[in-house]
Amino acid sequence: MSGPRAAASKVLTRGQVLERYGPSRPGAVVFTNGCFEILHAGHVSYLDQARALGDALVVGVNTDASARRLEKGPGRPFVPQDERALVVAAIESVDAVSLFDEDTPAELIRALLPAVLVKGADYATEDVVGREAVEAAGGRVELVPLLEGRSTSGLLRRIRGDA
């Protein structure tokens, strides 16, 4: 019986992710992405649901520069990219994490061509970045339900006393 994998062993470069989970891999790879700035129960639920849709879950995490370009607010992200990647990798349902520096994960998705591309149900399918490439390769997009009242923005409002 094998034990849990160390989180650091699941944080991979783009090249390593493509080598292990790229188009020639066996099984159905699931991909999702995000900043994962302050990990909370909503993230864990979301990642568990995503993993249940395939044989392996690869998570793209925005670099600090990429996250800043999303203009989420002053001083964000609060947690540096390497720490965010490591914390996401520590979740049992996550098989691999890779940082991406572009504004969107479109380039990574086109290279990986996952069988299933996952986003939260707060997205419209037609707005999911990478959808066209995944569907053209025979994959699908899945929108998974989010835990009500669980979001990083909501958590930050509560911390600041705004909620």
Tens of pLDDT, residues 1-41: 566 789 999 999 999 999 999 998 889 999 999 999 888 88
What CATH number has the domain spanning 7-160? 3.40.50.620
The residue with greater pLDDT, 138 or 42, is 138
Report residue 107's pLDDT band, with 50, 70 and 90 as the boundaries: very high
Mean pLDDT over 104-114 rounds to 98
| E-assigned strand segments in 19-90 | 29-34, 56-62
Which regions of the chain does DSSP assign to beta strands (E)? 29-34, 56-62, 96-100, 116-120, 140-144
Domain ranges of the chain: 7-160
Q: What is the pLDDT of residue 3?
A: 67
The pLDDT mean for the chain works out to: 90
In tens, the pLDDT along 91-100 reads 999 999 999 9
- The answer to whether the CB of 61 falls within 8 A of the CB of 34 is yes
